[in-house]
Amino acid sequence: MAAGFSLRRSQPVPALNLTVEEYEHDSGARHFHLANDCDENVFMVAVRTVPGDSRGVAHILEHTALCGSEKFPVRDPFFTMIRRSLNTFMNAFTTSDCTAYPFASQNRKDYFNLMEVYLDAVFFSRLDPLDFAQEGHRVEFESPGDPSSPLVFKGVVYNEMKGDSSSPISRLYHAVQAELYPTSTYHFNSGGDPRDIPDLSYEELLQFYRTHYHPSNAVFMTFGDISAVDQQEKIAEFGLNRLKPSEVPEIRVKSEQRFQEPVSAETHYPVDDEDLSGKTHIVLAWLLGLNTDLKMLLKGHLLTDVLLDTSASPLRHALEKTDLAAGVSPLCGFEEDHREMNFMVGVEGSESRHAQAVETLILETLARVVEEGVPLERLEAVLHQLELSQREIGGDGMPYGLQLIFGCMSAAIHRGDPIALLDIDQVLAELREEIREPGFVSALIQELLLDNPHRVRVVMGPSQTYAQELLQEEQRKLDTLKASMSVAERQQVVDQAEALTRRQDAVENLEVLPKVSALDIPASKHFPEVQVSDDRGPALCSMAAGTNGLSYHQVVRPLSQLSAEHMELLPIYTQIVTEVGSAGRDYMETQQLQHSYTGGISCFAALRSDLVDNQQFSGYMTFSSRTLNPKSADMLKLVAETSGSARFDEPARIRELIQRLALSRTSNIASNGHQFAMLAASRRFRAVTALSDHLSGIPGIIRLQRLADALDDSEACGHLADRFRALHLLLSYPAPNILLISDDEHLPV
């Protein structure tokens, strides 16, 4: 026993080249250590947070806990440590049923520095009332020192969730969850509904902290080459040894009460457009089984991939081809993070009057798949995708170890077996045998969907008045509150605003926080060796790496001199070139081959400023894919065919792809407004940012929408196909460079 931790079990996971060790602390805390030889160590402490309303208590507490602690009483230790650290990842987030605080570092001293700050923040947060006002919500006078001016709501979380609620897809998601989970915590918006956030009191925040932020309700997860014993000694020193035993109720998500028959609901979202036609979302959702059941979880993934993964999948194909809507809903798919999982499918760009017809289309398509079945090779391709996702070592957006932790943390939060979610080879082997049974998928669809009465249909239509109604409701609350205030209470609002300003302006002693210095950084670092060969055609760059049995290929070409017309077409080309046919095949056959041999093929163009003259730039285009090693040759052939001989002679497919892309990019403007604003603001500084804004910013979306609107004309659609063929020919001309990364034995000799 180390530092109060007892080893419960240790299990190797050969497919991931690691061993998972499970420990239990005297306090009831659990620690799962993913031990391997990776020097990028990852730490996460998570607490189960199960709110019973939409006032955002868990989200506000996440923010407030990071505003100073017992040992580090500074205003913002979290962001200050970003500048005093060598971290490769730092963040905190609130989900529907837990709050997690993860970080990663490749430096041992830095790693334990961050651990000390994080554990002090989680278990010894000072939770100052001013931090609650700053991060959560407060009222201020429009002129902070003038009590005669109007009241306004303020607060970081309050404003963040107002932004979130402006996204139609976010509103739709919360509406579906509220209907699908009427009695459990998922019914509520854990981030907080702006209409409810102002009702949360500071005292209620403190009570939630006392009952939820305790070791008995905590899960520690670590990854890397620092031993579990070394980690536990620090966890105990920085946190657990300083805490007194406390009797707190067990926190868990209760099971949902199951429907006896499907239900329907309607809601709306605000729009500014005068034309409301073609702006309705229609989604069906089913409640499934527990996410702690590994086989059920994998069956859910298999079912989703069979029905929805590509344009060749039967349910996606039906929804893409229907005249009832403009496209498939972004919410389509399988959600495994909730204790009881769910499956969603639907459309966007429809009309409310089509709701029953869309539901009938979905159910009839499912019934047809049940009757006709699914070819065995299609099911084998789906299991190939599952194995590929299990083995893949990511890292583009976050450390690989953190991806593994995220993949199994839900089971730990719900007191299941996270090790089982990492070691899936045995269950995959069982599924490979089960799919050979006739009617396997048909029985699955019948059981989980067609015979499942716990189904909801949510119709979300546009409203020109809803935004104004929300503003009026908010104003009435503020007017009523101000009218009820005494002179003393109004002065308290003025005083609080002044106190917040003084607090923000105060100079703090940041030296109480740990840091690393230049002496703590190694003088050198080993990088894998890259082999370059160009004696047999295109230049081949290959690199050996531990890839868990995967091969990665990229075909990279420099961008030739393109006309302004071709350059404007480039961002659309890169989005659709992997979705059309290739090498004489139509798009459906190509999609099926991609699913069988690859983890998907992507295409992107990148522009880079010159190192000497920032007004000059160059560009390149990349086709990228990955697969399991035995299918590497098939994948490389398919990538080469896509990059060299894509087909642009299926006008209906091109029209469908562009209209879907236009709908998606337009609907995402609200949630990505800050990125568009930054791009527009930077356009005057460099030629490359000016071009990026023109191609991918708001001007590019406007052109895309106009292009999509014009494609109902068959002549215009044919002309566009000709333009794509001409651009494809130009882009195919420069000799490519090929990049290959794989295990050493799978590299060319």
CA atoms within 13 A on the CB side of 20: 24
**Residue 50 · residue 97 · CB < 8 Å:** yes
Q: Which residues pair with 554 in a beta bridge?
A: 624, 739
Structure tokens at 99: 């709050």
State how beta strands 41-48 and 93-94 pair: unpaired
Amino acid 46 reads A
Distance of CA 1 to the CA centre of its chain: 38
Distance of CA 44 to the CA centre of its chain: 18
674: CB partners within 8 A, 6+ apart: none
Of 283, 271, 303, 227, whose CA–CA distance to 33 is shortest?
227
Of 476, 499, 449, 588, whose CA–CA distance to 150 is shortest?
476
User: Angle CA(557)–CA(562)–CA(566) in degrees, nearest 5?
Assistant: 105
Computed from CA positions of residues 183, 188, 44, 392, in that sequence, does the dihedral angle turn out positive or negative? positive
* DSSP secondary structure of 287-311: EEEETT-HHHHHHHHHHHHHHHSST
Measure the CA dihedral 592/595/596/601, to 10°.
Answer: 110
641 part of the active site: no
Amino acid 409 reads M
The residue written with tokens 């023109």 in the block is 694
Of 626, 88, 99, 628, whose CA–CA distance to 401 is shortest?
88
User: Angle CA(604)–CA(608)–CA(612) in degrees, nearest 5?
Assistant: 170
Amino acid 18 reads L
CA atoms within 13 A on the CB side of 324: 20
Annotated catalytic residue within 62, 340, 392, 656: 62
User: So which residues are the catalytic ones?
Assistant: 62
